[in-house]
Amino acid sequence: MKSYTLLLLMIIVVIRGYSQNYLITFSGSGASTAVDSVKVENLSQCTNLTLAGNDTLNLTATTGIGTVGMTNELPPSIYPNPSLGTCTLDFVTPNPGNISVGIYDLSGRIITSVSEYFAAGRYRCQLSGIPAGVWMIRVGSERSVHTLKLVCNTAGNTVSVIGPAEPMIAPSLHAGIPAGTGHRIPGSAASVVQMQFNAGDTLKLTGKSGNYRTVNMLFPAMSQNVEFTFMNCSDADSNHYAIVQIGAQVWLAENLKTTKYRDGSDIPNVTDSAAWSILITGAYCNFHNDPAEGETYGHLYNYYAVDDSRKMCPAGWHVPSTGEWNILEKFLDATVDTTALEGTGRMIGRILKEGCDTRWAYMDTTFGINSAGFTALCANFRNATGAWSLAPNNDHDAGFWTSTNYNTSAAWYRSLRWCYSDIYVLFPMKKSGNSVRCIRDQ
């Protein structure tokens, strides 16, 4: 057995209080310091609301814990999840007794565990130095056993014990807070807007300032200010794109949908399959030639449009090389082999996929969690013969061109597949139709 016992340390302390309110405010920097509105998406619950940029978001983290009694044992929660090597486990025991906490791999093999005697109450267990991967956390007493799945994207460099943070309670806001209604039209006056939140939920925040939109990911554990760094990202069609910073890179947070090159010249829309199959110049299409597909999922482009000297990305942006994709992949998932062909990476596909897009729905080990904010939609593709991707209900794959040529007839791309959690690396025919994401120039 590997010495994983040295990689997991725990400290257990009583936590006072049964709910937490996290107060989130917003500010802007970069091209604009004003925040007009913020769309808040709870990716764990697939709920959302929109509030004014000067509003305060009140995340009401309710675990459902009332007065601790003889029958009030409740399932534990773990957060943030996915984790970057450190996480917090909360649990309640209504009766005194021995509680065991263990970590297991997906085969059921125990990695390490601890068992101690506890009085009745609520407890917090801090875990740190957890290896990258998918783990099962088991919390057991004499009366019940609960198992949670923990996704760890990056293990910590050093092993340490992390002390607990005191709950940040806002008593003055316990009453009279307007409830979030799923999509609130922001008013001119600042308000406190409430949104239900469970410990461990992932939030995607899209701040808007004029035509600028920036995505920030939030794994709430405290009250804080969220700063959106705004920058221009608009194409020759005057489409304005949301952007997201992942590591040192800044990416579009949505697929390209321009119909023009940067100089304003048209990219032809080729709908006929036979005509598509013989192209050796740039073209685009919508999946199944449906304009609604192009509006929601972006256009599909052949590689000749990607490689055109007139350029298709907004000024200051470019189609990423296969090397730039490698940087993104390794930053998000250390299990990615950048020398591999075809499928690689244990979690990268799930990290990149949009989590509430039912086109990705397959099984709980492959659907998206979108923890980096990349928001890859299942846009499907067009193959070199002009035929469309086929699968039940169009649930299939999404391909993204790179700028890297393979040979005279093929080029490198990345694909996300609906039935796998990896990323697929290969070189399809240049006549194929795939999505495009742009990356900011360094």
Decide if pLDDT at 411 tops 70. yes
- What is the pLDDT, as a whole number, of residue 126? 73
Sheet arrangement for strand 9-14 = 9-14, 121-128, 86-93, 77-79
Q: Where are the domains of the chain?
A: 1-225, 242-440
- What is the pLDDT, as a whole number, of residue 154? 64
Rg (CA), the chain: 24
Over range 241-264, report the average pLDDT. Answer: 98
Of residues 204 and 151, more confidence is placed in 204
- What is the pLDDT, as a whole number, of residue 20? 63
Is residue 183 within 8 Å of residue 49, measured between CB atoms?
yes
Confidence grade of residue 131 (pLDDT, cut at 50, 70, 90): confident
1-225 maps to CATH 2.60.40.1930: yes
Decide if pLDDT at 332 tops 90. yes
Decide if pLDDT at 13 tops 50. no
Q: Return the amino acid letter for 10.
A: M
The string over 116-141, giving b where at least 16 C-beta atoms fall within 10 Å of a residue's C-beta and e elsewhere, is eebeeebbbbbbbbbbbbbbbbbbbb
> How crowded is residue 177: how many other Cβ atoms within 10 Å of its Cβ?
16
Over range 168-188, report the average pLDDT. Answer: 32
The rounded mean pLDDT for the chain is 82
Of residues 110 and 137, more confidence is placed in 137
Decide if pLDDT at 17 tops 60. no
The DSSP letter of residue 247 is T
Give the model confidence (pLDDT) of 80-101 as tens digits.
888 887 787 877 777 777 777 8
- What is the pLDDT, as a whole number, of residue 171? 25
- What is the pLDDT, as a whole number, of residue 148? 79
Of residues 140 and 348, more confidence is placed in 348
- What is the pLDDT, as a whole number, of residue 174? 25
349: which 2 tokens? 């596909």
Q: Rounded to two decimals, what is the model's pTM? A: 0.71
Lowest mean pLDDT among 190-194, 215-219, 332-336: 190-194
- What is the pLDDT, as a whole number, of residue 346? 92
Residue 88, H or E segment: strand 86-93
Confidence grade of residue 3 (pLDDT, cut at 50, 70, 90): very low
Lowest mean pLDDT among 3-17, 18-32, 240-254, 289-303: 3-17
- What is the pLDDT, as a whole number, of residue 92? 74
Is residue 314 within 8 Å of residue 295, measured between CB atoms?
no
Residue 124, H or E segment: strand 121-128
Strands 56-62 and 192-197: parallel
- What is the pLDDT, as a whole number, of residue 429? 98
Percent of the chain at pLDDT exceeding 90: 56
- What is the pLDDT, as a whole number, of residue 420? 92
Confidence grade of residue 394 (pLDDT, cut at 50, 70, 90): low
Percent of the chain at pLDDT exceeding 70: 81
Residue 203 neighbours by CB under 8 Å, 6+ apart: 40, 41, 42, 43, 197, 217, 218, 219, 220
Decide if pLDDT at 349 tops 90. yes
Give the model confidence (pLDDT) of 282-328 as tens digits.
999 999 999 999 999 999 999 999 999 999 999 999 999 999 999 99
- What is the pLDDT, as a whole number, of residue 303? 98
Residue 409, H or E segment: none
